[in-house]
Structure 1
Amino acid sequence: MNFMKKCANYTCSSIFVIASCAICLIVGYIIGSSPIEIFASVMGIINVWLLSKEKVSNFIFGIITVLAYLYIYYKTGLYALAILACCQVGFNMYGWYYWVKNSDKEANVVTSGLTKKGQIIWSAVILIAWAVWGYVEINILHAQNAILDSLTAVLGLVAQYWLSKKLYENWILWILSNLLFIIIYILNGYYVMLILVVIQLILSIAGLLEWHSSYKEQGENKLTL
């Protein structure tokens, strides 16, 4: 656990985010990735880094990032992820409003967790939404990688809502989502964005440790929905 905390502290440093952005720029240039893909990757790294540090400004970069993803997903035919990106724009705006409204004088928002009832309800919501979205993807939209696409979209949508409510469990869903994104990006040849998602996976693990620590220190405030 101490080793994990040391790693988390390193990923929260400005040196880590600068190095990560530089890697995306260099690799993107070498392999000839599109400018929009490189741009989305850099913005995404900054977004998740600011989020792991619990900075309200993360929402600005979050909106920019998902708009870039929206264009990429739509052009590729990943329709569930394109719809997810549209919803994430709204959730980023809501999260921005919620964090500012509920912050204290030091601009801190209480980190919360789900109750047992909340965990059961949300698990059911995720499974049902995945089944419905997957059916639409397969039988109506005939999208690529429908099963992975729909599951990643549902996880990302719920995670974004949890993030806006500052539930520490949002990082668990982002970790799962990042693992699925690794598979999707490999299948679609998005190698710069693959670097991004690996970096985001590392930052998500660091974010989970940081937010869970805040949750414990702030009295384990629990929400159902």
Structure 2
Amino acid sequence: MPKSDEKRRDDFPQPIKTLLAKRVNFRCSNPECRQPTIGPGMKKSATVSIGVAAHISGAAPNGPRFNAVLTADERKSADNGIWLCRRCDKIIDSDENAYSEELLQDWKQTAEATTHLELKGLKAVRDNQALLRKLESDMPALFAEMRTDLAEHPFSRDFVLIKREWSFNGDPNNVILMYYFNDHPHLRPMVQVLENRELVRNVTHTNVERFRMEEAFVDYLKTDPP
């Protein structure tokens, strides 16, 4: 490769960096992070930034995820950029096999859509499709059962955690879904993860653990599995 090509780097101009940051409200686009990347410094007139306009396809021929098909203008355009905190920027470039162009585009689209909904006063973190797909890959059997249950009972939202040998008197006017410890060895910690992600709420009021699905989670479960 000619030395001129080795040194070539298609960096973003400052207006593109500013655009990428503003479109996600200066938050990291990694759905597992969402770290604010700008804030006040020690001096009243100063700010501190830990944000980076990262290239989805590498800026240079030897860079991570470099795509030789792109032109220089395409490589340094907003379409090829994603706003990240410095930590996540380092992570995606240190393990490029785990962070593909497709995944980073998914992060970007999700972060921008989330920010758009937040501008309307809606809490959109729960709508993160990338996160939901990851959770489903971690607990496929439970998600599959929930999908089947919602197909049969589309207006049900509450479910209980129970053993098959236990008895449970539900609400005759409301179908309560049941998930059994016998079928899912790690049922309680899996549901705890869903609760931590604000996908379900604990509404227990008896000695049986009871949860309620949030609508964003229900909407995801009613779509075709990934």
Bigger RCO (CA 8 Å, 6+ sep): 1
Return the index of the structure with the highest Cα Rg.
Answer: 2
Q: Answer 1 or 2: which has greater strand percent.
A: 2
Fold shared, TM-score > 0.5 on shorter chain: no
TM-score after normalising by structure 1: 0.31
Q: Answer 1 or 2: which has greater helix percent.
A: 1
TM-score after normalising by structure 2: 0.31
